[in-house]
Amino acid sequence: MTDRVDISNVLAEIRNLRAQMQQPVNVRPEMNPNAIQPTQKTNETPGFGDMLKTAVDKVNDLQKETGQLRNAYQAGDPEVDLTSVMIASQKSSVGFQALVQVRNKVVRAYEDIMKMPV
């Protein structure tokens, strides 16, 4: 008789599980694998022209800063030392040289494209 009670309990549990499986499940939107998930806004990649303009602006800012430091040092400003003037001068010089090299590469690439047969 104990076997029947165990079997009845097992069958009752199976029926309960089946009833639970047939009930609609409320899934939160973030947990639903079929729902479209909003993604983070992607930053648009700047174009070459924008990048070149940004680089030119940065080099221009470095050169302005160097000029201001140089004038302040020549005017005898005690807060500006020769080391900071020379470092700023080298930064602007390296930035300008890099910009010239990029320009040369762009011009060379343009010339190569123009020489290609159509």
pLDDT over 70 percentage in the chain: 81
Higher per-residue pLDDT: 112 or 1? 112
pLDDT of 33-74, one tens digit each?
565 666 666 677 888 888 889 999 999 999 999 999 999 999
**SS3 per residue for 49-113:** HHHHHHHHHHHHHHHHHHHHHHHHHHCCCCCCCHHHHHHHHHHHHHHHHHHHHHHHHHHHHHHHH
Stated pTM of the model: 0.57
| Domain chopping of the chain, boundaries | 48-115
